[in-house]
Structure 1
């Protein structure tokens, strides 16, 4: 991993990826109605066919060093990812703002899909594997998600940029 201090001009320290990883592993609340400073929206950017960005809010879980989310294959983000899996994800937690760039791959392994459903249910969304076992279903989802099934994607970061929002602050770019 390559680490670059983006805040050296201000004598701020390099942010440690291990601390960022540990914070992400603790989770970040996205449940409807949780409100306030402890509700965090994640924004996914995919690439439209004409090369322009498409940005949309998504529910995200961080697990096993990767970001996991769902999308209908027929949705704009789903069709964009099928054509070009490169994407970026932005999120903010109390300690830092983070943007990761990488590729999101469709996950069809039934055990991984079931594990994602379990993580979703632990977080308050009663998702479960659909009849195929390769996607999720539930009684409800985000208003813009469209009808099920919702397929699981795993985004592995190739780079990330973090900006510290608490003392001592900092801004760091990591290339993995």
Structure 2
């Protein structure tokens, strides 16, 4: 991993990726009033057919050192990812702002899909694995997810940039 201090100009230290990862491991509640200033929203950016960015909120989870999200294959983000898996995901927590750049891969392994369904259910979204074993279903999801079934995606990060929002501050970019 290569770290670049983006705040040397201000004599601020390089941020520690382990500290950022520990903050992600601790969780970031997304329900209104559950954390941060009011809540934490993850924003996913995909690339449209003409290369333009498409940004939308997603209910992402951090698990096993990666961000995970779900969406219908017919949604704009689902179609964009089928054509070009490059994406970025960002969120603001109380201690840091983070942007991760990488590729989103659809995950179809039934055991992994089931494990992720359990994680989302533990966070309050009562989803379950559909009859195919490779996607999720539930009575509801965010309107931007489209109708079920919802495909599960894992983002493999190539780089990340964090800005400390508490303490002495700092900004760092990591390349993995």
**TM-score under structure 2 normalisation?**
0.97
Task: Report if aligned partners of 1:95, 1:165 keep a CA contact under 8 Å in 2.
Answer: yes
Q: Give the Cα separation in 1 of the matches to 2:33 and 2:140.
A: 15
The runs of 5 or more residues in structure 1 that have no matched partner are: none
The verdict on how the C-alpha distance between 1:130 and 1:152 changes in structure 2, with shifts beyond 3 A counting, is same
1:155 aligns with 2:155: yes
Distance, in Å, in 2 between the alignment partners of 1:140 and 1:32 is: 17
- TM-score normalised according to structure 1 size: 0.97
Equivalent positions of 1:41-120 (< 5 A) are 41-120=41-120
Matched, 1:168 2:137: no
Q: Secondary structure at the match of 1:81?
A: helix
Mean Cα displacement is larger for which, 135-144 or 50-59?
A: 135-144
Structure 1 CA distance, aligned partners of 2:36 and 2:6?
29
1:84-134 per-residue CA deviation (whole Å, 9 max, x = no partner) reads 000000101110000000000000000010001000000000010011110
Once residues 63 and 144 of structure 1 are traced to their aligned partners in structure 2, the CA distance between those partners, rounded to angstroms, is 22
C-alpha distance in 1, partners of 2:31/2:167?
Answer: 27
RMSD of the alignment, in Å? Answer: 1.2
Paired positions, count:
176
Runs of 4+ in 1 over 4 A off after TM superposition: none
